[in-house]
Every structure is written in C-alpha cells, then in structure tokens.
C-alpha cells in the first residue's frame, strides 16, 4: 500500500465521506477578539522562593476547577492548588529539598522536566509514588537560568494525569538578570503563561479520548492560559517578559499578536540565546518553553494574543488572551542587545551517531480502530467536522467509551520498539556529545524530548533551524527530520534510566518512548 496522507487515511477510515472541511473563524476575525469587558483576569501562580536547605512541599491532590464563563466546575487536580501549581523559584547553587505528597488516589510520579538532576531523582516512570505516600529528594541546583516545569510521568497514565492540571513551573535563576537588563519582577513585568486546551462538552471539561484522539493526540476546542479561558492581563507601558510553556497534551501553538507586534525571543528550554530573536509568529510544541520580551509601550492596547492553526489537529485560529495596559511605565523600557555566549555546536563534536524513527504506526493503528468499529462504539464515529479534529459538541456518549493507551490495542514506537520499562535502548558515555538523527513518517509532527541531556538543533527538515531554536533545548518539534547534537551531562543507572520520547502525551503513553543510561 502506498503512503496515504493523514487526511486520506481519515476519509478512508471513516467509511463515509460525510466529513465536511469546516473552515473556522478566520484569523483575527472580529468576533474572535476578546473584549476586556467580559474577560476574567489571568491568574498568576503564587511564587515559592526556597532558600538553600529549605523544603518545598508539593501536595498532589484531586480538586475541582472552573475554566471559563458558562462552564461547570470540573474535575481537576493540582499541586498546592485546584489546578496547576505555584511557580518554584530556584537559585543556582542552592540545595533544595522537595517533598512530593501523592494524595491523588492513584499511583503517580513527578518529573522535573528540564532540571539537571541524576536519573534517580528525575521523577520518570521508575520513581513511582504510591497513593498516600511522599517522595523526598534533595536537588542541587546547578544549571543556566531557565524556565522548566514539573508534571506526572507515570507509565501509560501521563496524559490523563497531566490533563487534570498536574503541572507547574520552576524558574532557575543565576542572579544576573539585573546585569542583563531583563525584566525580572515576577507577577509585574515577568509572568508565566501556561498554554493548554480543554474539550468542553455541555459546560463540562471532558478527557475521554477515542481512537482518533490517541492517534493525533488529544486536542481541545477551548484554549486556556494558566487554567482560565480567554483571560486578560494588565501590563505596564514597557517591556514585559513572558515565560511561555506549552503545557498541552498535544496541541501545537503558533503564537502571534493581533497587530503582529514582534516577540523578542530571549531564551529557549535550556537558557538564554546570544541575542534576542525577533519574530511575528512563534511555534511552540508540547513541552517546549520560550521566554519572550514584548513591547507594550507602543502600538494599541488592548491587544489579543492568538494561536493559528495546528496541523496535527486543531485547525482553527483561536484567541488565547488579551493584554490591556494600566498605563504606568515599567522599569525596563529597552530590549537588551546581547545575553550569554553560546558554546559552539557542530556535528564534529559527536562521538556517536544514532538514528531514531518516531513511528506513529498510522496504518496498523487505523486497522485496529476499524476492526473495533464492529462493536459500534470505539473509533471512527464523530459528530464534528474532521478537518478541525476538534470534537466540539460531541458528548462522551457519542464518542463511545474513552480509550486508554493500554486498552486501545494501539501502539507507537521509537527506534523500532514500543516502550518497555525493562529494556535499555541506548547507552551513552557520560559527558559525551552524540548526533541523534530523528525521522517521522511525515504524517504528523512529534515533539521529541529527552531527559537528562540537553541538545542543540543542528537542522530541521534538512535546513538550519529558526534562530530562536538554536540555543540549548530539551524538546523540539520534529516535522520530518531533525539532527540534534545531544550533550549527556547527567548520570543515569540501570535501575533508573532516563527517557526519550514524543511529548504528545497520548503518543508517549502508546509507547513512543525509549530509555537510556550513561556509562
Ligand atoms: Cu515533560 Cu518525559 O517529560
Ligand atoms: Cu522531561
Ligand atoms: Cu508524537
């Protein structure tokens, strides 16, 4: 069988051609702009500022949360919060104790995505915390200034737990942002924006994936920022620093302002770029972080931040949030010209080259779904237009019983194998650089993430990466090919290997994940 496009497969798999390609709200269409009269205010997560030797307690618990106007208060979970978590500020050079309390009623783990820690403290699938138990670890903070995050990573249940709201930010700070001339007052000119989506059915927040949701990753029809739909935030007339995290299970955000004012990208996952990179559109895949400066001293306010279409499945342009101005000047009024120098990165530094195919097993999984259709419930029946891939207006009943990665009969793979907690896929020399060449089937983009290592993107689809993606990263959106120079600078043992995987959480749960140790 020749390779079919995703759309052809969808049509072929549906057994019917009655799937209109609905073109949704045009970009920046008048009705889709948020107005300050109705919008709720953006919640800025509380800030925890532990000092050397302090203990940070993070209690993971079920809760209820209201995402937006007209919505019911829905099932959620958070860490010290009904949804998401406080932001933890970590000073470089300190030792911090984390006490993670699992009060979820189910087994979990808490992974420190982006933090430089040995694998035994990484919070991957091997670091399980049973319900009612605590996990106590001491972490030495020793890495460049950066925005990182934590979220559950439990075997085959990460997507569900993360979607409940179990995620929070960690800011690593080397204390030099004043010298750098950067905005640095949390909540004032430096705010985090956690970008996510929800599927709202009859006012309720529903995570009930069907087979197609597992294949494409679960997309919602409503966007939320810091846990609230279409919020507004008042900013000073000057330079704002936005710490962007794509905390969605699967949605790719393509950010832009209504008036196309530029983002000045100053940092990626692993720390600062050499100088700010100006762009009108900023794509950000699940798990990725970018820090941007935005000038609110010129141009009109209020101004709406949008995301345009996600090729993997959320077809429409949607407003994310509104920035209004309180008119007062901010401390920082100019964009600094340069930051830290980046170390060189080239293929000559690699002592090993490896190739990995991020295998969505599209054909096999579609076949599993089609077989399941005989029962009339699972799989291909959808109420909504499929071009958008967003099942708005479809109730859980219409969708059929939700599927889990384990119950679906589907699987995805990386490097030829579906995830196995008992198999070590790669042994890398501690301290070495390796060239990792990633390929996909081309049907979908996959956000590749590696624990316990940092990389530089040498090429994407055979071309140089965009300038904002040339710094240190741990997650990158792969369309067809990517060449990464990976630095293995954290230690992993056989009992607690590090993970590398697709950060579309449904794909991760389906097995597009492998393990490595350092030797
Ligand atoms: Cu953000 Cu393996 O995860
Ligand atoms: Cu991670
Ligand atoms: Cu994927």
Is the CB of 405 inside a 6 Å radius of any atom of ligand 1? Answer: no
How far is 328 from 479, CA to CA, in rounded Å?
Answer: 43
Tokens (6 digits) for 505: 């959480």
Percent of the chain clearing pLDDT 90 (strictly above):
77
**pLDDT single digits (tens) 167-183:** 999 999 999 999 999 99
Question: Does position 407 have pLDDT exceeding 80, yes or no?
Answer: yes
In 92-189 the beta strands, taken as DSSP E runs, fall at 95-103, 111-113, 134-140, 146-151, 168-173
- Ligand 1 near 243 CB (within 6 A): no
Indicate which atom in ligand 1 lies nearest the CA of residue 499.
2
Longest Cα–Cα distance in the chain: 65
The helix (H) or strand (E) run that includes residue 318 is: strand 318-329
Is the beta carbon of 153 within 6 A of some atom in ligand 1?
Answer: yes
**Alpha-carbon span 288 to 265, nearest angstrom:** 13
Q: Which atom of ligand 1 is nearest to the CA of 153?
A: 2
Long-range Cβ contacts of 24-32 (<8 Å, 24+ apart): 24/315, 24/316, 24/317, 24/388, 25/316, 25/317, 25/318, 26/317, 27/306, 27/308, 27/317, 28/258, 28/304, 28/306, 28/317, 29/317, 32/317, 32/318, 32/319
What H or E segment, with its residue span, contains residue 178? helix 177-180
**Contact call for residues 439 and 480 (beta carbons, < 8 A):** yes
What span, in angstroms and rounded, lies between the C-alpha atoms of 409 and 362?
13
* Any ligand 1 atom below 6 A from CB of 114: no
Residues 6-17 pLDDT 10s: 433 333 333 222
Ligand nearest, relative to CA of residue 445? 3
Q: What pLDDT, in 10s, does the model give residues 87-117? A: 999 999 999 999 999 999 999 999 999 999 9
DSSP secondary structure string, 204-258? Answer: EE-----HHHHHH----SEEEETTEES-EEEEEESEEEEEEEE--SSPPEEEEET
Index of the ligand 1 atom closest to the CA of residue 114: 1
Residue 287 CB less than 6 A away from ligand 1: yes
Q: How many angstroms does the Cα of residue 118 sit away from the middle of ligand 1? A: 15
Q: What is the pLDDT of residue 201?
A: 84
Instruction: Give the pLDDT score at 204.
Output: 86
User: Which helix (H) or strand (E) covers residue 345, if one does?
Assistant: none
pLDDT value for 219:
93
- Number of the ligand closest to the Cα of 499: 1
Q: Residue with the nearest Cα to atom 1 of ligand 1?
A: 113
Helix, coil or strand: residue 429: coil
In angstroms, what is the span from residue 245 Cα to ligand 3's centroid? Answer: 18
- Give the range among 127-141, 198-212, 453-467 with minimum mean pLDDT: 198-212
Distance 364 CA to ligand 2 centre (A): 28
Token digits of residue 397: 């009943």
Q: Output the CA 114–ligand 2 centroid distance in Å.
A: 6
Provide the phi-psi class of 17: left if phi over 0, else alpha when psi is between -120 and 50, else beta.
Answer: alpha
Q: Locate tokens 């460049």: which residue?
A: 144
User: 36 falls in which pLDDT band (50, 70, 90)?
Assistant: confident
pLDDT digits (tens, 9 = 90+) for 264-293: 999 999 999 999 999 999 999 999 999 999
Which domains, ranges and CATH numbers included, belong to the chain? 47-174 (2.60.40.420), 190-329 (2.60.40.420), 344-518 (2.60.40.420)
């Amino acid at each position: 069988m020749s390779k079919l496009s995703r759309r052809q497969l969808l049509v072929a798999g549906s057994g019917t051609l009655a799937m209109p390609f609905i073109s949704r709200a045009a970009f920046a269409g008048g009705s889709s702009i948020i107005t300050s009269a109705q919008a709720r205010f953006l919640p800025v997560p509380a800030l925890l500022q532990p000092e050397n030797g302090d203990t940070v307690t993070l209690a993971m618990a079920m809760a209820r949360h209201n995402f937006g106007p007209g919505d019911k208060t829905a099932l959620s979970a958070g860490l010290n919060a009904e949804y998401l978590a406080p932001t933890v500020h970590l000073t470089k050079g300190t030792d911090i104790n984390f006490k993670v309390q699992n009060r979820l009623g189910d087994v979990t783990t808490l992974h420190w995505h982006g933090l430089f820690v040995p694998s035994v403290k990484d919070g991957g699938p091997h670091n399980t915390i049973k319900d009612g138990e605590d996990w106590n670890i001491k972490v030495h903070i020793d890495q460049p200034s950066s925005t990182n995050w934590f979220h559950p990573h439990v075997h085959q249940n990460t997507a569900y737990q993360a979607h409940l709201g179990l995620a929070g930010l960690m800011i690593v700070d080397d204390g030099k942002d004043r010298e750098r001339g950067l905005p640095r007052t949390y909540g004032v000119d430096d705010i985090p924006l956690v970008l996510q989506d929800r599927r709202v059915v009859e006012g309720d927040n529903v995570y009930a994936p069907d087979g197609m949701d597992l294949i494409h990753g679960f997309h919602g029809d409503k966007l939320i920022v810091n846990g609230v739909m279409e919020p507004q935030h008042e900013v000073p007339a000057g330079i704002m620093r936005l710490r962007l995290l794509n905390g969605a299970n699967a949605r790719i955000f393509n950010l832009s302002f209504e008036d196309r004012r530029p983002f000045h990208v100053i940092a990626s996952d692993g720390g600062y770029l050499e100088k700010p990179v100006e762009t009108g559109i900023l794509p950000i895949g699940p798990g990725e972080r970018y820090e941007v400066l935005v000038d609110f001293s010129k141009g009109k306010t209020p101004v709406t931040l949008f995301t345009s279409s996600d090729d993997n499945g959320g077809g429409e342009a949607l407003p994310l949030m509104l920035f209004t101005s309180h008119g007062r000047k901010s401390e920082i009024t100019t964009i600094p010209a340069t930051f830290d120098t980046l170390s060189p990165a080239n293929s000559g530094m690699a002592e090993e080259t490896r190739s990995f195919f991020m295998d969505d097993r599209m054909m096999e999984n579609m076949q599993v779904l089609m077989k399941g259709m005989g029962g009339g419930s699972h799989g291909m029946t959808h109420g909504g237009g499929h071009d958008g891939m967003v099942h708005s207006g479809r109730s859980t009943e219409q969708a059929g019983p939700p599927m889990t990665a384990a119950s679906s009969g589907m699987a995805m793979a990386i490097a030829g194998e579906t995830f196995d907690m008992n198999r070590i896929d790669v042994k890398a020399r501690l301290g070495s650089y390796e060239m990792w060449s990633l390929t996909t089937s081309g049907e979908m983009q996959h956000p590749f993430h590696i624990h316990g290592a940092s990389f530089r993107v040498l090429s994407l689809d055979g071309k140089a990466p965009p300038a904002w993606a040339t710094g240190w990263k741990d997650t990158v959106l792969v369309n067809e090919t990517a060449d990464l120079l990976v630095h293995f600078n954290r230690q992993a043992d056989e009992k607690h290997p590090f993970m590398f995987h697709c950060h579309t959480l449904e794909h991760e749960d389906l097995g597009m994940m492998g393990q490595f140790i350092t030797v």
